[in-house]
Amino acid sequence: MMFWLKRFCLIVWVLLITINLNAHHASAAAPGAAALLNIIPGVGYMASGKVVEGVAWSAVILGTYVSGLGHFGKNLHFYSIGNIYRRLKPSNRMYYANSETVFKDYIASYNPLNIIDPFNPPLVGLGALAGSPKVSVGSLVVYSFVGLGEEGLFRGFFYPAFTDVFFGSKLFGAITSSLVFSAAHAVGGNSSALVPKTFIFRTLAGLLFCIQTTYHDHDLRKSIFGHTWFDIFVSSKLSVNSRHASNPPLGLKATFEF
């Protein structure tokens, strides 16, 4: 655990330094700094003047951890980091122009209209082909939070943040954030995440989600839907083997089973 904690702290410091070094406008530093401060749940909101909202986020996230619902808390925490970044409207304009709320983004997983998209039909179809069409209520609840959290963090924050780090290059921002997305699945001892073909697949999936969010003017709802349903279908097949029951291909390892 200390091995990954030290490297996580190093990544945070590198991001903090590079975001500030590459902030050509005063307003560009604030969203990135708020996102990093929100590594401590709610603090980024509080530092941005959204005190009541910050306290609410902190209470909900910490409450889920204390009550043994860490899977939900972890993904809400991920989402909140990207949400405060986007809510503060970074100068790179890589955020959804309309109002963003966790409820609107979460419901996206349950909205069948989100399948109407150039990317989701082949993505979800691939998941159904590789996995199983059997869907349980439990898996839907679990993976809707995975889709919300991972898209909120990796496409909502890391993608635009790394774009800033590379002087506005969305290509390098997408590649770097996708590599981080793939590598992050190894945190917690999941060594299978580093198997070359698995690592490459997740990286390509991350790139696809970056393209998808850019295509939709950085609205995350389509990618949340696609991410959620791909995981649901694939995990439904993997769950047959108890050794892989909590190790979905795109979702971080769940800490409990329904």
For 41-75, write each residue's pLDDT tens digit: 999 999 999 999 999 999 999 999 999 999 999 99
For residues 113 and 245, give the distance between their C-alpha atoms in angstroms, rounded to a whole number: 29
For residues 187 and 12, give the distance between their C-alpha atoms in angstroms, rounded to a whole number: 15
Q: What is the pLDDT of residue 113?
A: 97
Three-state DSSP at 117 gives coil
For residues 241 and 238, give the distance between their C-alpha atoms in angstroms, rounded to a whole number: 6
Q: What is the pLDDT of residue 11?
A: 57
* Pair of tokens at residue 48: 């941005």
For residues 163 and 145, give the distance between their C-alpha atoms in angstroms, rounded to a whole number: 26
Q: What is the pLDDT of residue 202?
A: 93
For residues 230 and 234, give the distance between their C-alpha atoms in angstroms, rounded to a whole number: 6
- pLDDT tens digits along 190-217: 667 778 888 999 999 999 999 999 999 9
Q: Which helix (H) or strand (E) covers residue 203, if one does?
A: helix 196-215
The answer to which of 91-95, 136-140, 148-152 has the lowest mean pLDDT is 136-140
For residues 90 and 33, give the distance between their C-alpha atoms in angstroms, rounded to a whole number: 11
For the CA atoms of 187, 191, 195, 199, what is the dihedral angle to 10 degrees? -10
* Pair of tokens at residue 177: 């954030």
Q: What is the pLDDT of residue 20?
A: 47
Q: What is the pLDDT of residue 10?
A: 55
Gyration radius (Cα) of the chain, Å = 17
Q: How far is CA 249 from CA 141, 190, 228, 238, in A?
A: 17, 11, 11, 9
Q: What is the pLDDT of residue 100?
A: 80
Find out whether 220 and 104 touch, Cβ atoms under 8 Å.
no
- pLDDT tens digits along 103-142: 999 999 999 999 999 999 999 999 888 876 677 788 899 9
State pTM to two decimals.
0.82
